[in-house]
Amino acid sequence: MALLDSVRGFLARRKYGEPIIIVSGLPRSGTSMMMKMLDAAGIAIMTDAVRTADIDNPKGYFEYERVKDLEKDPDRGWVRDGRGKALKVISWLLKDLPDDNAYQIVFMRRDIDEVLASQNKMIANRGEQDTTDDESMAEAYRNHLAAVRIMGRKKANWSIVEIRYDEAVREPAKVARTVNAFLGGRYDERRMVEAVDEKLYRNRKSA
């Protein structure tokens, strides 16, 4: 499998150029933490810093505002500026990435109950109200994640590694090795580990 992945990566580079590292997942699934890990490892981050740190993400969001318009923006040529860099893209917008690039996708997975709890807390912190039923939302999330996996298997210009948020916090050295190997083994794992702050793992599911 490793040899197959290596050959696939080589062919993708010849066709598409340097891959764009995409950090993706559901909202509140640890994507900001992974972006911070990659930034610490020495990977250039594609961000405009428009969305600043707050109580929900005190270390920052590492977002690029134009990503939000991927679905409706007819001009997506700017995405190729992310070649050799890391770009955060919410999972619903993965389908809108242009096909003229290769993508190495670090996909964050988190227990859906924890995702919903974290989302609800964020909404409360903003003084807003959420009328969405958690059970319906959880089902929609599960269906969406299954669809992303199917799409990933069909995309010749995608390679994906799934990372569990709880494991990244509990065993950051192990996850750093996994991510670094996936990205070619060129990055600083020690700095990746140092970027993980266990205190920010809030809204944990009870054992």
Domains of the chain by residue range: 2-69+76-190
The domain made up of 2-69+76-190 has a fold known as Rossmann fold (3.40.50)
**pLDDT tens digits, residue range 88-140?**
999 999 999 999 999 999 999 999 999 998 888 876 777 766 667 788 899 99
Encode pLDDT of 24-48 as tens digits. 999 989 999 999 999 999 999 999 8
For the entire predicted model, the pTM comes to: 0.86
Which 8-state DSSP code applies to residue 52?
-
Provide the b/e sequence for 84-110 (b: ≥16 CB within 10 Å): ebbbbbbbeebeebeeebbbbbbbbbb
At residue 9 the predicted structure's pLDDT band, cuts being 50, 70 and 90, is low
pLDDT at 162: 97
pLDDT at 61 over 90: no
pLDDT of residue 152: 93
Which residue is listed with tokens 């995309």? 155
Six-digit token pair at 84?
């050799």
Nearest to 162 by CA among 184, 151, 178: 178
What confidence tens digit (pLDDT) does each residue in 134-165 have? 888 999 999 999 999 999 999 989 999 999 99
